[in-house]
Amino acid sequence: MKGDEKVMTVTEVAEYLHVHPSTIYRLLRKREIPAFRVGSDWRFNRESIDDWRTSREKR
């Protein structure tokens, strides 16, 4: 992993995107947001979230 990569929790990504954590869980259930599991917890790469957000804004 590069030193500049940031891994975020559900709470952190919700704050980053200015949405409620339940919105993040809904997107996870629908498999609409890039994420990975660490044990039973979801984690998000900030660069992947930025790319995902940019692709959604182009719609």
Split into its structural domains, the chain has a count of 1
Domain that holds residue 21: 7-57
Backbone angles phi, psi at 26, to 5 degrees: -65, -45
Q: Indicate whether 2 belongs to any domain.
A: no
DSSP string covering the chain? --TT--EE-HHHHHHHHTS-HHHHHHHHHTT-S--EEETTEEEEEHHHHHHHHHHHHT-
HEC per residue, 48-59: HHHHHHHHHHCC
Backbone angles phi, psi at 18, to 5 degrees: 60, 45
Per-residue confidence (pLDDT) for residue 39, from 0 to 100: 98
Q: What is the chain's length?
A: 59
State the pTM of this model. 0.86
Q: Indicate whether 1 belongs to any domain.
A: no
Per-residue confidence (pLDDT) for residue 1, from 0 to 100: 47
Per-residue confidence (pLDDT) for residue 17, from 0 to 100: 97
User: pLDDT tens string for the chain (59 positions)?
Assistant: 455 679 999 999 999 999 999 999 999 999 999 999 999 999 999 999 999 999 998 87
